[in-house]
Each structure stands twice: as structure tokens, then as C-alpha cells.
Structure 1
Amino acid sequence: MDITERELTDPWEGVLAAPARGSDVGVLVLAGSSGRIERERARILAQQGFTALAIRWFGGPGQCPGICEVPLETFTAAVDFLRRGGARRIGVLGTSKGAEAALLTAVYDPRVDVVIALSPTSRVWCNVGPGRDGAEQPYRSSWTWREQPLPFVPMDDSWTPAEPDSGPVAIRGWYELSERTFGRSLPSTEIPVEAARADLLLVAGGDDAMWPSLPFAEQLARRRRSAGASVRLIARDDAGHRVRLPGESPASVSPHFRYGGTPQADVLLGEEAWPHILDALGGEG
């Protein structure tokens, strides 16, 4: 399929990829804590018949340098942009911290029709990186809505990695310890997906070494089902944090973090999820 691609610089850096013949389905594409613009993923979605908007949502000009009190209005403004461009159906596809943002956007913006959350969390976490003041601590919420920080789970800094100092680290245990330490505050930090009008598709690997995305996804699914809301969970026990969709380049090896899974398992999970993603968005499949 022929597609067009346009670079954006205002109000955020990004790329808009769309079928040459147009589309009435718009998808906001959000990366995780890498902060990158998901250009390749946007192009792949455009080739399937969607208008895909991939933006840099922190670390860019005028933005917070880290994931610290990022306004959820960043994402509702992107929904505005897609709607003005003619999209009648809106999806948000996010991975990791981008999945956290995607789920929250659907909770606060009823115009979102579907969320695809890859390696998600079921609750709001503290900042990753510095705020506008340049400080990483004290911990603050990752998100605000109408200038008010959302309740969040802080990190328990007594945690120490099991790996040698010289190698990449699996930080899943840090999140699991923090949940136990701050257990009393967990209910207020849960993302109330049961209140979202959007359909929900969750994709998670059981061997995720960054955070326990499969248990998180199962929690989200239970809350949706208990409210009689639609949800679908696609999982593989041997996959890790970085789900690869068909046509995407292999994930690079990080010198800092262990992501779990294997390249083959991560690809297989993406292949299994792909037809469900297309179906959820209303694509050509």
C-alpha cells in the first residue's frame, strides 16, 4: 500500500504516516521510556490502512526531560489532531510506560475507541528520570491531569540488583518489592480501566524482566471483566518486555537493562497479537 509521511515539529516532534488514499481510523503510537518516536511502527500501521501518529512525549523541546508529571493533555491533544484530520475511530497503541499513558488517556478521554497496551502496568508509577526542575527525587507521579498529579507508587530504594555491577540489570524485582513495600497505597494508584469506554487489548510476556507485565495485564483484565467491559489478553510465558510486531526490526541489545524473553519468543508474541491488533483497530488484516 502506498503511504505518505510527514514530519511534525509543533506542538510535539513526531511523524504522521497515512495511506495515500486516506483513512478514517487514527492511531496514536507511544514509545516507552526510550523516549523515541516510533517511526517504524507508524509506517507499518499506515501500510495496513491506518493514519498513524507517533510523537515524542517527553524529552523534546518544551517538554519535561524525564517521565515526571507529564500532562495527560499531551495525549488528548494528539487525539484532537487525529480527529481534525478526519479520523472517526481513535486507537492508542503504547508500550511499557507508553502503555501506561495509553490506558490513562482512555480513562480520561471518552473519544478513545480502543487501546492496545503492550507490556502494560495496571497502576500508576512514579517518575522515571528528572522533572522540569532537573531532580529525580523526591519521587513524583509520572502523570498529571488538569495540573493535578495522579496518585502513584514510589520505588523502594532498598532494592539491590542480583546481577553483577558490570552487566545489564533486570529491574522487575524492584517493581515487585515496591508493590509489597507500599501495599497500603496500591488501591489509589490502580488505573481504573473499568471506567474506560474504549475496547482493551493487552499483550504481555511472562518472562518480562523490566516489570511484571503479565501479572499486571491479568489484573487489568480481571477489573474489566468484573465490570462487564470488553478485554482481550494475548500472552506468551516465554516472551519478554519488547514485543516485536510483524515487519519491525529486531530489538537492539541494551548495555543497561535485561528485558527478558528471547528474540524469537518476542517475535512470536507479536505475530500472535497482530491479527487481534488489526481487528481491534478495524484494519484490513
Structure 2
Amino acid sequence: MPDRTSRVQRVPTSADRFDAHPAEPNGTGVLLLAGSSGRVEIGRARLLAAEGARVRTMRWFGGEGQRPAPHEVPLELFIEQITLLRGSCDRVVIFGTSFGAEAALTVAPLCPVDAVIAVAPTAVVWAGAHDGALSSHWTLAGDPLPYTPFDHNWTPDADPPAFRSLYSSSMQRFPESAAAARIPVEKITGDVLLIAGGDDQVWPSTRFAQQIISARERTGLRSTLVSHPDAGHRLLLPGEQPAAGGTRMARGGTPKADAELGERAWPEILRILDRRSA
């Protein structure tokens, strides 16, 4: 069997990462992860750095020496970056969107962080596809994590496709796989901030957020949810403009509603970034 761990590129090349350093550091380091767009979130990194955080944003697939798609991506890639941030920061936060939120929530039980910020989160690990092969989004020590497969009977009913019903029907069709793929969020010892739009057409992120909250509440752990009924899959923080690119799909929301969600979430994000309020 090939050694999948050899796929890990421990430090992304300069083309696949961006570091934002604050003028007045507050002691918080942030690992910032995009979703299926695969982008390096330079603008958002600068926005967070303006509030005192030292931010590394990185490409985690499609870069030099990396997996070509969100398919069997080694979690060690993120663990290594968290460890590096821990060496220079008092606190470490992992901030992810969509598939990046899945990565953040999946890594946090394995490599303790002080907080997780998950935008458009999922409560389970999902399948990824590459060259016709279906497997987990993630591996650990070379082994794929349990994942929820896709309902092969699903077909899109709109153009561009809205995948929300695919993710819902897949969980209904494969309940045992979904249960095995549940992310153990109750093992996250740090703060958890969930941000979700009620009109998310990619997947049911508000429902996933409630499942995460319930799982943590059963073990006495609190989480914070910020939502907006008309916002979609993408978040617009104060000063951000709507993003382009990524996989062609319906994402829901409107620029106005996505920005209103960002305005609601921003005070909670600042609370997590500020070590004095932790």
C-alpha cells in the first residue's frame, strides 16, 4: 500500500500561502482556510491582521506538492501549521469556510486550538472525488477518515446546480455512514463560533450548525451560532466584496444578506480574536 503521508507538504510554498502580520500584535494566531474555491484568502487575512491577529492563509489543495482536489487531503498539513503558529503566538484560532470549516472542525479535536470559527459548517465528513475515485476528504496517518458518500440517484434540478438537496438526501440514504463520519465536536476544548446562512444552497449549514451545538451541549460545552435567514453559503465581512470563482454552483443569499450576516458575526469574531476577552 502506498504511503499517503508522503503526500503532505509540510510548509506550503510562498505561492500557496500568505502571512499577514499586525502592526500591534494581540497574541492571537489564525490559520485561515478557504473552501472549494481553493483560494488564498489574502484580503480576509489582512482584515483580521488589522485587528491584531497574526494570520496565515494557505492553499490546502491544488498547490505545489499538494493533492489536486479536496480528496484524501492529509490532516497533518493543518496540524503542522497550527503547531508553527503555536510556537509564535499565545493563542491559536482556526478559521475555515465550507470545506475549510469541515477541515477546521475535524482537526480541532486532534490538535487543540483555542477557538474554531466555522463559516457554513458541516457536522460530518464528506466524500471527495478525484479521477473517478470516491474517498474521504481527509486522511490521518495515511488512512482515510470515515465519510458520508453521495446519493448516486440524485440529479440537479436547476442550472447552476444547487447541491443542498444532494447533501440532505445523501445523509438520509446512508445514515450509518453519516453516523460513522460525524465530526466529534464534543472533543473540541476551545471556543466554537458557527456562522451560517438560512438560504445556503450548497448544503444545509444551519441544520449542521444546530447538530454541532446539540452534540457539544450534551457534554456541557457551549457554542455560539450567528445566522441570517436570507444569507447564503458565502460570508461578507465588513469591507469585503462578493467573491468570484470556485466551483460553478448556486450558493444562495444576496450580497446584502451575506453582508448583514457578516455584520452580525463580526463582533463575535472580534471577541475570539481578542485574547483579553478569552
Q: Give the alignment's TM-score, normalised by structure 2.
A: 0.91
Per-residue deviation, 1:198: 1.5
Cross-structure match for 2:19: 16
1:196 aligns with one of 181, 188, 204: 188
Q: Is the 8 A contact 1:49 1:283 kept in 2?
A: no
Q: Is the 8 A contact 1:26 1:82 kept in 2?
A: yes
Matches within 5 A, 1:40-51: 40-51=43-54
CA distance in 1, matches of 2:154, 2:180: 23
1:96 equivalent in alignment to 2:98: yes
Q: Is the 8 A contact 2:149 2:177 kept in 1?
A: no
Aligned residue for 1:248, secondary structure, equals: coil
Amino acid paired to 2:89: A
1:208 equivalent in alignment to 2:200: yes
Per-residue deviation, 1:281: 2.1
**Comparing 181-190 with 198-207, which one deviates more in the overlay?**
181-190
Aligned residue for 1:41, secondary structure, equals: helix
Relative to 1, partners in 2 of residues 1:157 and 1:200: Cα closer, same or farther, differing over 3 Å? Answer: same
Cross-structure match for 1:177: 169
Cross-structure match for 2:8: none
Cross-structure match for 1:161: 156
CA distance in 1, matches of 2:216, 2:15: 32
Per-residue deviation, 1:11: 8.3
**Gaps spanning 5+ residues in structure 2: where?**
1-10
Aligned residue for 2:127, secondary structure, equals: coil
1:77 aligns with one of 76, 80, 88: 80
Per-residue deviation, 1:251: 2.7
CA distance in 1, matches of 2:161, 2:71: 22
CA distance in 2, matches of 1:197, 1:283: 16
Over the aligned positions, Cα root-mean-square deviation in angstroms equals 1.8
Identity %: 46
Q: Is the 8 A contact 2:26 2:275 kept in 1?
A: no
Matches within 5 A, 1:1-285: 10=13, 13-84=16-87, 86-110=88-112, 112-127=113-128, 129-130=129-130, 135-137=131-133, 139-163=134-158, 167-252=159-244, 256-282=248-274
Q: Is the 8 A contact 1:118 1:243 kept in 2?
A: yes
CA distance in 1, matches of 2:166, 2:261: 25
Q: Is the 8 A contact 1:12 1:55 kept in 2?
A: no
How many residue pairs get matched? 267
CA distance in 1, matches of 2:258, 2:198: 11
Provide, for residues 162-208 of structure 1, a one-character-per-residue CA deviation record: whole Å limited to 9, x for no partner. Answer: 11xxx311111111111111012221110000011121000001110
Q: Is the 8 A contact 2:36 2:246 kept in 1?
A: no
Amino acid paired to 2:243: A
CA distance in 2, matches of 1:146, 1:201: 28
Provide, for residues 32-89 of structure 1, a one-character-per-residue CA deviation record: whole Å limited to 9, x for no partner. Answer: 01111011110000001100100000000111100111111110111122123x2110
Relative to 1, partners in 2 of residues 1:221 and 1:159: Cα closer, same or farther, differing over 3 Å? Answer: same
Q: Is the 8 A contact 1:12 1:57 kept in 2?
A: no
Amino acid paired to 2:217: R
Q: Give the alignment's TM-score, normalised by structure 1.
A: 0.89
**Comparing 141-150 with 213-222, which one deviates more in the overlay?**
141-150
Per-residue deviation, 1:136: 3.2
